[in-house]
Amino acid sequence: MRATVLVAVLLASPVAAQGPAFDSPGQSSYGTMGQTTRFSTEFNPAIGFVIDAFGDYLGVDNDSDGFNAELRLLEFNAAAYIDPDAWAYVVISSEELEGVEVEEAAVEYIGFDNNSTLKGGRFFVDFGKQMQQHLEELRTLERPLVLREYLGEELAGTGGQWDHWFAVGDSPVRFSVGVFADLLGEGHHEDEGEEEPETAVPERKDFDELSFSARVTGMRDVGESGILQLGASTRIVPEFTAEFGPLSQDGLSNVVYGGDITFGHTDETGNKRFTCGGEALLFDGDLSAEVDDPAAPTVLTVLDDDVFGFYGFADYAWNQQDSAGVQYSRIESPENPADDVSELDFYYTHHFTEFRRIRFGVTAIDAPMDGDALRAYVQLTGFFGSHAHGLNW
Amino acid sequence: MKRMPTSLAAALLLGGVAAAQLDVVATIPDLKDIAEEIGGDRVDVISIARGTENIHGVSLRPSHLVKVNKADVLIQIGLSLEHAYVPGLLEKGRNRRIQPGAPGFVNCSEGWEAIDVPEEISRSRGADIHPLGNPHMNIDPRGGRHMADRILAGFLRVDPEHAEHYEKRHAAYVAKLDEAETRWAKLGERLRGKKIAIYHNDFTYFARHYGMNVVTSVEPKPGVPPSPKDLARTVEVLRREQVGVILTAKWSNNKDVRFVAEKSGARVIEIPIMVHGVKGVDTWIGMMDFLHRELVGALDP
């Protein structure tokens, strides 16, 4: 019986280019559109994998210190043209072997007769310099503190984004506008084991309750070897709800504004590279929510305020294989704006080849409420097959 | 093509001067030089690479994006030599005139018989694997003629009205090449059978053309930096085979090369792998003259 149902389902379910072997009358047919060889691999997408693992020692002012090792990330990515005017990509990952997540799956339309593109699907939001990057692409083990706290570990949204760039003299200027179902961010405080109110946007909403993003950025040559980039970004969540057990509060909203500056210099051989820069963020609106007693909550309090934070970094590669840098981030805590929290990273990266690298780093966190922490880590990353994310600007 | 104020254009037209130049983007200075030889004052050419960097890892600048967006012609070597930057540049440059297959896309390796075509496409063979074969055809003494032919074909496709101009200049350049090739052939005879070591396989076409003996490379496999064990092996091979010269480019003239040279007693010669790769080498013919002169001076003084 089960086998019969399975066969029926398979016959009734054409799967993209690998359609059914036989089309009965009334079925939508892919065969009439030219793709008739079901088992051809010639049009398959480029496929890549990433493995990212680390071992670390964490010293904190409580009992959770000690050594650990984690297979942090398995990432599968694939990309291909759908037709001459559109391409698509997918990034599927498993973090810390806890389930599988579709980080990105999007189609980008490139058929406009100008410098515009239109992207739809789920993808990392165009905010600043580091939010578009996947974890393994970062120069440090984690995203900078200010980005984690104000935007989330990752900021992927399901929606659409229009991109356009134009030239001012010899300098390109790009802007993007995105509209999304939800931009609350992921991973905010989830790993700290704290019981906190959950935030969510309404499943069905008016247009002005959708989340928005926007970015404008320009780059210019500085002499023969330098590049200067300036950018400004925003992320708007105009309607969300905080809930904890029976308690909830709706009509909440917040906005994050960001400004970024980056300078890069490369010597004449291309081997020695110096990069420095930073981002400053202002987080405004309903920042956080808490309950009086997580065991028996009676009051849910929402903090409406604005907080400021930033990060800055400097990174130097003295040959093709070796680089080192420092990154510093400081924030006013969204939970308690009177508290300043800071994070200082030192790191050294060695590329065995273009596709395999090892990184040693030390991260020091100074947090008045949660206590100070020191983390030393070694990170090993391997890139397999096709792997590229193109120009990130 | 270059845009100009209407009044200026009108003045030029009234003066009987054909005004519009082709905007040309060349990936490396070698192609810029040859394109200027063939195009003359009808082309305005920029090069993305400076000539001193690793040819596979050229850093893009913002102005390159703008130039690509407005270009009438893009000239590349191909064979995935520029795979690290041309595909992304073409994607973001959003210029249909120079996409692969369009008249303005000039692939100089088209019709070239590549060597070192890998039998297996696997990273186990090296990090810097080129599925279509060794892409460093610009270091082959015959390469200038082939690149010039392909560039001429591209200019004729895009700007057929000025075919006579391009063909005349191409013929003049080929005559220069004929003369140079005669000069190089005499010098090349003195290189036959000479033993050398290289850092990367960017010199293979030249060496093979003259029957030189490339005994070993400092890189154990393309794109893979040598380990201490690899370096020890290279030193041992150079001593055993009595190899007196290591050829390296500016970007790869590093501590590993110096270590091998010091331990084996070999001499390091820094060669250009692109025009402008060493000071004073400003044309493709000039680069070839430099290579022949330097090598003969080192190997058969």
CA–CA min distance B110, chain A (Å): 22
When the pLDDT of each residue in chain A is averaged and rounded to a whole number, the result is 88
CA quadruple A392, B124, B51, B150: dihedral sign: negative
Residues in chain B closer than 8 A to A268 (CB atoms): 50, 52-53, 250
Quickly tell me which residue has 């989830």 as its tokens: A190
- What's the confidence (pLDDT) of residue A187? 55
Q: List the single best residue of A354, A355, A383 to mutate versus B (max B Cβ within 10 A).
A: A354
Cα–Cα dist B75/B66, whole Å:
16
- What's the confidence (pLDDT) of residue A23? 66
DSSP structure class, residue B109: T
Residues in chain B closer than 8 A to A109 (CB atoms): none
Residues in chain B closer than 8 A to A275 (CB atoms): none
* Residue A170 near residue A221, CB atoms below 8 Å: yes
- What's the confidence (pLDDT) of residue A354? 86
Q: Where are the alpha helices (DSSP H) in chain B?
A: 6-14, 29-39, 62-70, 86-93, 143-158, 163-189, 204-209, 228-241, 255-264, 284-299
Among the residue ranges A23-32, A328-337, B182-191, the one predicted with the least confidence is: A23-32
- Domain positions in chain B are 6-179, 182-299
CA–CA min distance A107, chain B (Å): 15
Quickly tell me which residue has 């009509």 as its tokens: A251
Cα–Cα dist A257/A260, whole Å:
10
Q: List the single best residue of A225, A353, A357, A358 to mutate versus B (max B Cβ within 10 A).
A: A353
Best CATH choice for the domain B6-179 from the list 1.20.210.10, 3.90.1150.10, 3.40.50.2300, 3.40.50.1980: 3.40.50.1980
**CA B121 vs CA A77, A78, A369, B217: distances in Å:** 20, 19, 55, 20
Residues in chain B closer than 8 A to A114 (CB atoms): 94
| Closest-CA residue of chain B to A174 | B92
Residues in chain A closer than 8 A to B63 (CB atoms): 170-171, 220-221
What's the one-letter identity of residue A362?
V
pLDDT(A171) > 50? yes
| Closest-CA residue of chain B to A170 | B63
When the pLDDT of each residue in chain B is averaged and rounded to a whole number, the result is 91
- For A15, the 3-state DSSP assignment is strand
Selecting from B50, B53, B254 the residue whose C-beta is nearest the C-beta of A319 gives: B254
A115/B53 Cβ within 8 A: no
pLDDT in tens, A308-331: 999 999 999 999 899 999 999 999
CA–CA min distance B227, chain A (Å): 9
pLDDT(B10) > 70? no
DSSP structure class, residue A138: S
Pairing of strands B213-217, B195-198: parallel
B166-192 mean pLDDT: 97
A269 vs B: CB within 8 A: yes
Selecting from A114, A219, A321 the residue whose C-beta is nearest the C-beta of B225 gives: A321
B115-132 mean pLDDT: 84
pLDDT(A235) > 80? yes
- The reported pTM is 0.88
A166-173 mean pLDDT: 96
Bridge partners (DSSP) listed for residue B226: none
Q: In this structure, which topology does domain B182-299 adopt according to CATH? A: Rossmann fold (3.40.50)
- What's the confidence (pLDDT) of residue B33? 98
CA–CA min distance A205, chain B (Å): 34
Phi, psi of A101, rounded to the nearest 5 degrees: -130, 140
Cα–Cα dist A274/B298, whole Å:
36
B53/A269 Cβ within 8 A: yes
pLDDT in tens, A42-79: 788 999 999 999 999 999 876 678 999 999 999 999 99
A115/B60 Cβ within 8 A: no
Q: Where are the alpha helices (DSSP H) in chain A?
A: 2-12, 145-151
Residues in chain A closer than 8 A to B66 (CB atoms): 167, 169-172
- What's the confidence (pLDDT) of residue B84? 84
- What's the confidence (pLDDT) of residue A185? 78
| Closest-CA residue of chain A to B99 | A84
A114/B62 Cβ within 8 A: no
| Closest-CA residue of chain B to A385 | B123
B5-12 mean pLDDT: 46
pLDDT(B59) > 70? yes
Cα–Cα dist B173/A373, whole Å:
68
Tokens representing residue A159 in the block: 């929606």
* Residue B37 near residue B173, CB atoms below 8 Å: yes
Interface of B with A (CB under 8 A): 50, 52-54, 57-63, 65-67, 69-70, 88, 91-92, 94, 96, 123, 127-128, 223-225, 250-251, 254
Return the closest-CA partner of residue A96 out of A15, A187, A1: A187
A227 vs B: CB within 8 A: yes
* Residue B169 near residue B274, CB atoms below 8 Å: no
How open is the CA angle A140-A142-A144, to the nearest 5 degrees? 85
Residue A128, C-beta contacts closer than 8 angstroms, at least 6 positions apart: A147, A215, A231, A233, A258, A260, A279, A281
Q: What ipTM was reported for this prediction?
A: 0.86
pLDDT(A18) > 60? no
pLDDT cut 90: percent of chain B above it: 76
A320/B225 Cβ within 8 A: yes
Confidence of residue A20 (pLDDT cuts 50, 70, 90): low
Sheet containing strand B213-217, edge to edge, reads B213-217, B195-198, B245-248, B267-270
A227/B61 Cβ within 8 A: yes
Quickly count: other Cβ atoms within 10 Å of residue A12's Cβ. Answer: 10
Quickly tell me which residue has 């055993």 as its tokens: B240
| Closest-CA residue of chain A to B272 | A269
- For B46, the 3-state DSSP assignment is strand
**CA A346 vs CA A151, A326, B46, B53, B212: distances in Å:** 23, 5, 40, 29, 48
A190-219 mean pLDDT: 85
Residues in chain A closer than 8 A to B61 (CB atoms): 221, 227
CA quadruple B194, B196, B201, B206: dihedral sign: negative
Quickly count: other Cβ atoms within 10 Å of residue A251's Cβ. Answer: 10
Tokens representing residue B158 in the block: 């895009």
| Closest-CA residue of chain A to B70 | A167
Selecting from B70, B88, B94 the residue whose C-beta is nearest the C-beta of A391 gives: B88
A224/B50 Cβ within 8 A: yes
How open is the CA angle A349-A351-A357, to the nearest 5 degrees? 80
